């Protein structure tokens, strides 16, 4: 058996910096696991269909197997590969490991994918439990000696500057860590998931997203382990059902991407094509650096830069702030997330950005303009999350931490804060930003 990973720069969207870092760690962990079982992991770079077909010929392989991804660029590679292998008389087979159900199984009467989440998820669940995944082989027989690239040659990790320190401190990529993460979640966090999942100041969610993104754990493994945990302990039921619904959102986003390969480029609702976005590179840079003057937004963007993820609730608030308060095209925010998230996903990232902007398939109503202050006070009531990622505000009392501009000069001085110097004032006034956003949205509604 030859275990092969091909880095194909032309298949799909090129991964951003944080995802490249994760990929390197993930391949290292996979390689070590394969060696432990008696095999080796071969690395090759180039157009996957050609590289795999050449290797099959070179090694005299009888058959080639892979894990399929039901997306246009990957399907194109598979089709080329199937044709090349058939010509060479080599058997081949792909296995679905990326989704709970194939997109073809969830279609409306016209044969199109569903665009609203709730009926989509109902349909997925009505199809019955997805098949149980098989265990990994315990031992592998070593194949012939095959030349392999080295990970270092691929230069996936940053050097000069090495900005990945925060990622290393936060994450352990790889299959064993993914399984441990799921186990911990089901043992402890799942019980409080319904209430805690919206709290960035708590460890209230699973942290599985980058592991799922890189196939270190599959949605079917997660599904079955979660259902099993709920059957063993029925008091976990509500938390597990909610958690599985979130896994359903991942599925929904990937089905959307299957139907709309240009999800990151094209508004799903065409009336947004004429939206009066503002071009403001200074405001975009302030948002990217976490210097908007709104503590919950800034904490989120700094969490992202430091750890490679941002809490889901804060992603919604920070994304809404960019597209509504700053009126900057969602595609700029999507690209920033794409480059900085370790879980950057070609389905979930643009689908969620479109959802927040209001141009998505199952979009939040455009008139919902989050107040960053109220969101902060509701979901980070003591300010612990802000204190962690915006340390220059950490001595402000809880009642002021989400609205430092309302503090008196004495309160600011005793917390060591100089607005405009140690921490910026608000980049835009909330009420004005909200009105401007509503006026812009009203224009396209008329149009
Ligand atoms: C603007 C924006 C951009 C986003 N970009 C991404 C992205 O690139 N990649 C990504 O995996 N998620 C993305 N999300 C969804 C969500 O924020 C993350 O999946 C979640 O924060 C991951 O943390 P967790 O694994 O602890 O989640 P949990 O709460 O433990 O959820 C379990 C799993 O469900 C899936 N999930 C949860 N929420 C969503 C959702 N809204 N959409 C799709 N899947 C979901 C994830 O696979 C997650 O690992 C985005 C959300 C927003 C608002």
Instruction: Kindly list the structural domains of the chain, giving each domain's residue range(s) and its CATH number in brackets, ordered by start.
Output: 3-95 (3.40.50.620), 97-134+174-259 (1.25.40.80), 270-446 (1.10.579.10)
Q: Is 68 left (phi over 0), alpha (psi -120 to 50) or beta?
A: beta
Q: Which of 19, 342, 348, 357 to mutate to test the pocket of ligand 1 (most atoms within 8 A of CB)?
A: 348
Q: Is 444 a residue whose pLDDT tops 90?
A: no
Do residues 415 and 436 make contact, with C-beta atoms less than 8 angstroms apart? no
pTM for this one? 0.97
Q: What is the mean pLDDT of the chain?
A: 96
What percentage of the chain exceeds 70 in pLDDT? 99
Task: Give residue 367's pLDDT band: very low, low, confident or very high (50, 70, 90).
Answer: confident
Each residue's pLDDT tens digit, 10-43: 888 999 999 999 999 999 999 999 999 999 999 9
Distance, CA of 333 to CA of 304 (rounded, Å): 12
pLDDT value at residue 151: 97
Question: What pLDDT sits at residue 368?
Answer: 82
Q: Would you state the pLDDT for residue 447?
A: 54
* pLDDT at residue number 142: 85
Query: Which residue is closest in CA terms to ligand 1's atom 20?
Result: 312
CA 376 distance to own-chain centroid: 22
Which tens digit of pLDDT belongs to each residue from 321-344? 999 999 999 999 999 999 999 999
What percentage of residues in the chain have a pLDDT greater than 90?
A: 94
Reply yes or no on whether 246 is catalytic: yes
Q: 289-311: buried (b, 16+ CB within 10 Å) or exposed (e) per residue?
A: ebbbbbbbbbbbbbbbbbbbbbb
> Per-residue pLDDT tens for 146-183?
999 999 999 999 998 999 999 999 999 999 999 999 99
**How confident is the model at residue 362, as a pLDDT?**
75
At 79-121, the pLDDT tens digits run 999 999 999 999 999 999 999 999 999 999 999 999 999 999 9
Residue among 343, 354, 357, 364 to mutate when testing ligand 1 (max atoms within 8 A of CB) = 343
- CA-nearest residue for atom 36, ligand 1, is 246
């Amino acid at each position: 058996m030859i275990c092969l990973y091909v880095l194909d720069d032309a298949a799909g969207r090129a991964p951003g910096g944080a995802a490249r870092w994760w990929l390197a760690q993930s391949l290292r962990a996979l390689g070590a696991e394969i060696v432990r079982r008696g095999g080796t992991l071969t690395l090759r770079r180039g157009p996957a269909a050609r590289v795999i077909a050449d290797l099959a010929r070179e090694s005299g392989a009888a058959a080639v197997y892979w894990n399929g991804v039901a997306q246009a660029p990957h399907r194109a590679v598979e089709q080329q590969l199937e044709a090349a292998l058939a010509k060479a008389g080599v058997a081949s087979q792909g296995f679905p490991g990326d989704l709970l159900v194939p997109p073809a199984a969830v279609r409306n009467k016209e044969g199109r994918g569903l665009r609203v989440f709730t009926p989509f998820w109902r349909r997925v669940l009505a199809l019955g439990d997805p098949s149980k995944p098989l265990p990994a082989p315990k031992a592998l027989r070593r194949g012939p000696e095959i030349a392999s690239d080295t990970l270092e040659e691929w230069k996936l990790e940053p050097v000069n500057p090495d900005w990945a320190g925060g990622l290393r401190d936060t994450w352990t990529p790889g299959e064993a860590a993914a399984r441990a993460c799921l186990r911990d979640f089901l043992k402890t966090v799942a019980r409080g998931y319904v209430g805690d999942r919206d709290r960035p100041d708590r460890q209230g969610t699973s942290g599985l997203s980058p592991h799922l993104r890189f196939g270190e754990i599959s949605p079917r493994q997660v599904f079955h382990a979660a259902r099993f945990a709920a059957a063993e302990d029925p008091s976990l039921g509500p938390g597990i059902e909610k958690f599985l619904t979130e896994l359903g959102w991942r599925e929904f986003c990937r089905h959307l991407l299957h139907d709309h390969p240009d999800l990151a480029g094209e508004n799903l609702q065409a009336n947004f094509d004429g939206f009066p976005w503002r071009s403001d590179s200074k405001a975009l840079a302030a948002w990217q650096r976490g210097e908007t003057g709104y503590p919950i937004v800034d904490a989120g963007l700094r969490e992202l830069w430091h750890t490679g993820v941002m809490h889901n609730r804060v992603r919604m608030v920070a994304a809404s702030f960019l597209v509504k308060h700053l009126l900057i095209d969602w595609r700029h925010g999507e690209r920033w997330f794409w480059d900085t998230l370790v879980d950057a996903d070609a389905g979930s990232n643009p689908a969620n950005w479109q959802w927040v902007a209001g141009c998505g398939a199952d979009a939040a109503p455009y008139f919902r303009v989050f107040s960053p202050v109220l969101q902060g006070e509701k979901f980070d009531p003591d300010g612990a999350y802000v204190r962690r990622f915006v340390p220059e505000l950490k001595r402000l009392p809880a009642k002021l931490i989400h609205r430092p501009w309302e503090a008196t000069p004495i309160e600011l001085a005793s917390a060591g804060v100089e607005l405009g110097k140690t921490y910026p004032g608000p980049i835009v006034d909330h009420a004005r930003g909200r009105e401007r956003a509503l006026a812009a949205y009203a224009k396209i509604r008329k149009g």
